[in-house]
């Protein structure tokens, strides 16, 4: 940048600051959200921007409890599934809005070998390990720190997972930071380090419904993926990277989620709908667009960017109407969808997949951005 453009940039930054304070000043709030069964108090943090975005996150599981975005008429609506009260989260739920770790998705047989040593993990999904085990990161109380700066509002959450937790080796220090900015982006930055070789695969498990209610079959989805990882009946990848072309998994052009979900297809049968990892075109490493979802009734748009090589697209097939959430809504089958940015499932047992191994001295880093708009 030359001098003149530096001055212009500085002036623009200053004006942006002014316009923000001239409008309703966004404020981060923190309020008590209840106590865990062990009596640990947890809080609810609300981050907002001047453009109508408001997200409430608790340091219990790092759960996104609510997320309000304007529709095309500017009307706010809550577009994530969840509960009003901590109590309901404590009773058990399918990972609504939570941080998932140490390993998002499945590890076959709840075991893996690293450097010649076999590690046995908790088996909490048939014979497999799912989303970090019996008490994963979604059920931990994280140490919070919140602040605002020129970029937006931040909530940092820290957790130390002890050596051997759920069967994983190494003390793992984890930091997850949520940032809400004025570009209507909710960014999630994940960091981790270890003192023994281990595996890590962190994600967020928000269930979105851009209409706020009803099923999600009319949402129009595009995914930047030419391949997906087909699975066996236990939803473990076979190891193949299968082209999406000519299959119900082709979302390279926008198509309604429900358009092909009932097709007679073995993969859809195994998942009872979509519950599959897509191999993102960007290949991971640098931030790239993974997906865009458009909801025609409200005009809401969600775009997902990530540094991860994969993304699990899950259509809430296992929701069965037994959970009643916010606003008294019944969470029936396919009333929410997840876009879980991640490394591929079962990578610790699939040497051909991008590695999820983290060694002492290395830093695990991952970034995902959820960007909201309406048209
Ligand atoms: C998995 C589903 C699972 C769900 C749990 C998703 O990430 O892919 O198979 O049922 O999480 O709620």
Which sequence spans correspond to the domains of the chain? 3-92, 99-139+165-374
- List, for residues 155-198, the tens digit of each pLDDT value: 999 999 999 999 999 999 999 999 999 999 999 999 999 999 99
For ligand 1, atom 10: residue with the closest CA = 318
Question: Could you tell me the pLDDT band of residue 27, with boundaries at 50, 70 and 90?
Answer: confident
The pLDDT of residue 15 is above 60: no
Using a pLDDT cut of 90, give the percent of the chain over it.
93
Q: What does 53-90 look like in DSSP terms, one character per residue?
A: -EEEEESBTT-EEEEEEE-TTS-EEE-B---SSHHHHH
Percent of the chain with pLDDT over 70: 93
Average pLDDT over the chain reads 94
Does the pLDDT value for residue 17 go beyond 80?
no
Q: Is the pLDDT of residue 21 over 50?
A: no
Please give the Cα distance from 217 to 334 (Å, whole number): 7
List pLDDT tens digits, range 47-57. 999 999 999 99
State yes or no: pLDDT of 20 exceeds 50: no
Residue in the block written with tokens 């309901």 = 88
Atom of ligand 1 nearest to the CA of 100: 7
Residue entry with tokens 């983290």: 358
- In this structure, the residue with its CA closest to atom 12 of ligand 1 is 94
Q: Lowest mean pLDDT: which of 1-10, 98-107, 332-341? A: 1-10
Does residue 8 have a pLDDT over 70?
no
In the prediction, which pLDDT does 10 show?
47
pLDDT value at residue 107:
98
Q: Which of helix, strand or coil describes residue 10?
A: helix
Element (H, E) at 263: none
Cα-based angle 248, 253, 254 (whole degrees, multiple of 5): 90
Most informative mutation of 130, 138, 139, 204 for ligand 1 (most atoms within 8 A of CB) = 130
Check whether 9 has a pLDDT greater than 80.
Answer: no
CA pseudo-torsion sign 84, 87, 88, 90: positive
Q: Is residue 19 scored above 80 in pLDDT?
A: no
Q: Tell me which of 94, 138, 201, 310 to substitute to probe ligand 1's pocket, judged by most ligand atoms within 8 Å of the beta carbon.
A: 94
Third-level CATH fold of 99-139+165-374: Beta-galactosidase; Chain A, domain 5 (2.70.98)
Rounded (5°) CA angle 60-342-130? 60
C-alpha torsion sign, points 16, 17, 18, 23: positive
**Active site residues per annotation:** 205, 340
Residue nearest to atom 8 of ligand 1 (CA): 275
Reply yes or no on whether the pLDDT at 342 is more than 90.
yes
Question: Which CB contacts under 8 angstroms, 24+ apart, belong to 37-46?
Answer: 37/90, 40/141, 42/86, 42/141, 43/144, 45/144, 45/146, 45/155
Ligand 1: centre distance to CA 92 (Å) = 14
Residue 25 is predicted with a pLDDT of 59
Alpha-carbon distance of 289 to 375, in angstroms, equals 19
**109, 128 contact by CB (below 8 A):** yes
Determine phi and psi for 8, rounding to 5 degrees: -60, -45
The pLDDT of 127-137, averaged and rounded, is 98
Task: Tell me the C-alpha distance between 138 and 93, whole Å.
Answer: 10
CA atoms of 244 and 247, how far apart (whole Å): 5
List all residues 6 or more positions away from 41 whose beta carbon is below 8 Å from its beta carbon: 32, 34, 35
Q: How confident is the model at residue 211 (pLDDT cuts 50, 70, 90)?
A: very high
Residues touching ligand 1 (Cβ under 6 Å) are 94-95, 235, 275, 312, 314, 318, 338, 340
Give Cβ neighbours of residue 356 (< 8 Å, ≥ 6 apart).
103, 199, 200, 201, 343, 347, 348
pLDDT tens for residues 306-327? 999 999 999 999 999 999 999 9
- pLDDT average, residue stretch 136-151: 97
Q: Encoding tokens for residue 230?
A: 């087909």
Collapsing DSSP to helix, strand or coil, 167 comes out as helix
């Amino acid at each position: 940048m030359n001098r003149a453009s530096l001055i212009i940039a500085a002036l623009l930054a200053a004006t942006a600051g002014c316009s923000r304070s001239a409008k309703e000043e966004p404020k981060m709030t923190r309020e008590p959200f209840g106590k865990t069964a062990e009596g640990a108090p947890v809080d609810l943090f609300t981050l907002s921007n001047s453009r109508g975005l408001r997200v409430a996150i608790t340091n219990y599981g790092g759960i996104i409890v609510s997320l309000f975005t304007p529709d095309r008429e500017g009307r706010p609506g809550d577009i994530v599934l969840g509960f009003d009260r901590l109590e309901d989260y404590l009773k058990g739920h399918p990972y609504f809005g939570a941080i998932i770790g140490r390993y998002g998705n499945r590890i076959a047989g709840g075991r893996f070998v690293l450097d010649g040593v076999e590690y046995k993990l908790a088996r909490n999904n048939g014979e497999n390990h799912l989303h970090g085990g019996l008490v994963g990161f979604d059920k931990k109380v994280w140490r919070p720190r919140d602040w605002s700066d020129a970029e937006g509002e931040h909530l940092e959450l820290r957790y130390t997972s002890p050596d051997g937790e759920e069967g994983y080796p190494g003390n793992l220090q984890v930091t997850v930071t949520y940032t809400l900015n004025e570009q209507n982006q909710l960014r999630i930055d994940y960091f981790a380090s270890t003192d023994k070789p281990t595996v890590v695969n962190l994600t967020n498990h928000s269930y979105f419904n851009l209409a706020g209610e009803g099923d999600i079959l009319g949402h129009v989805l595009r995914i930047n993926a030419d391949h997906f990882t087909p699975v066996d009946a236990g939803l473990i990848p076979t190891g193949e990277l299968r082209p999406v072309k000519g299959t119900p998994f082709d979302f390279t052009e926008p198509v309604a989620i429900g358009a092909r979900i009932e097709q007679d297809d073995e993969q859809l049968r195994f998942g009872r709908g979509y519950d599959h990892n897509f191999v993102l075109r960007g290949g991971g490493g640098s931030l790239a667009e993974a997906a865009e979802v458009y909801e025609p009734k409200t005009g809401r748009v969600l775009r997902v960017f990530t540094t991860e090589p994969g993304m699990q697209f899950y259509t809430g097939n296992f929701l069965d109407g037994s959970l009643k959430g916010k606003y008294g809504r019944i969470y029936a089958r396919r009333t929410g969808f997840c876009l879980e940015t991640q490394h591929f499932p079962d990578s610790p047992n699939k040497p051909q997949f991008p590695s999820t191994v983290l060694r002492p001295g290395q830093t695990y880093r991952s970034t995902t951005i959820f960007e909201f708009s309406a048209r």
